[in-house]
Amino acid sequence: MDKSQSWALFDDIAPRYDLLNRLLSFGCDRAWRNAIASRVQAQGQVRLLDLGTGTGDLLLTLWARCKASLASVTGLDLSENMLALAKRKTPPGCPATWIHASAQKIPLPDQSQDSVTMAFAIRNCPDPPQVLREMVRVLAPGGHAYILEFSMPQSWLFRRVYLFYFRHILPLVGGWISGHSTAYRYLNQSVEAFPYGEVFAQWMRDAGFSAVTTTPFTFGVVTLYEGERP
């Protein structure tokens, strides 16, 4: 699939997206988002930008967990249907700004943010290194990026089980519930083709990040990448 049109796929599956995330991750997605929240909270008062925000799950989790530490919260996505759901989910008192735009060309000024987050979206971008460069551009010096993305388990035995689930069970269940089997076939294909671990960490360094770290979760099924804007 042409990744420049991946937003259209997410438009189609938006109504069932949150439910499927809970089911297909066995509820682990909440813990993964909370791991980012604990890091953002430790930063102090920050202006937060969530790229590829989708239905706003990560941004709204961060608001609920870290509202005392957030000076502003902005979510950006190319899928209008996803953003419509995010707006409906926004609780009273949450000052979220929702922007319909591409993460490859963020319509915000240089050095205007203190934290940039992105969960399970950078692999869907046609030019991930450009997204990383845009993150560096909009971050103020000392700002941090937190990128959560799928990866491959290190254990060969667990990897075999995981790949069987990812290639056969997940597309079947995801296609049945969402009514869009193509979307969940694309999911496993995009994950298996996307660089992870040290390869992706080097992409971050090449884009201009320093102090890059990788933290695998759930036996390496996902990895949290962190980087600082010098």
Is 181 contained in some domain? no
Percent of all residues in the chain with a pLDDT value above 70, rounded to a whole number: 84
Write down how long the chain is.
230
Is 50 contained in some domain? yes
Mean per-residue pLDDT, 122-137: 96
Task: Name the residue with tokens 């290190």.
Answer: 154
Task: Give the least confident one: 74-83, 104-113, 176-185.
Answer: 176-185
Nearest to 58 by CA among 42, 75, 71, 83: 75
Q: Kindly report the average pLDDT of the chain as a whole number.
A: 88
Residues 50 and 147: their CA atoms lie apart, in Å, by 10
3-class secondary structure per residue, the chain: CCHHHHHHHHHHHHHHHHHHHHHHCCCHHHHHHHHHHHHHHHHCCEEEEEECCCCCHHHHHHHHHHHHHEEEEEEEECCHHHHHHHHHHCCCCCCCEEEECCCCCCCCCCCCEEEEEEECCHHHCCCHHHHHHHHHHHEEEEEEEEEEEECCCCCHHHHHHHHHHHHHHHHHHHHHHHCCHHHHHHHHHHHHHCCCCHHHHHHHHHHCCEEEEEEEEHHHCEEEEEEECC
What are φ and ψ of residue 84, in 5° steps? -60, -40
Global pTM value: 0.89
Buried b (16+ CB within 10 A) or exposed e, 33-42: beebbebbbe
Is 79 contained in some domain? yes
| Beta-strand relationship, 113-119 and 222-228 | unpaired
Q: Where in the sequence is the domain holding 138, given as residue range(s)?
A: 3-153+193-228
Is 146 contained in some domain? yes
Is 123 contained in some domain? yes
Domain count, the chain: 1
Is 217 contained in some domain? yes
Q: Decide if pLDDT at 214 tops 80.
A: yes
Is 169 contained in some domain? no
Neighbours of 211 (CB within 10 A): 12
Is 55 contained in some domain? yes
Q: Decide if pLDDT at 59 tops 90.
A: yes
99 neighbors 74 (Cβ within 8 angstroms)? yes
CATH code for the domain of 70: 3.40.50.150
Instruction: Give the chain's radius of gyration (CA, Å).
Output: 17
Q: Which of the two residues, 203 and 17, has the higher pLDDT score?
A: 203
Nearest to 51 by CA among 110, 95, 91, 107: 107
- Which pLDDT score, from 0 to 100, does residue 17 have? 66
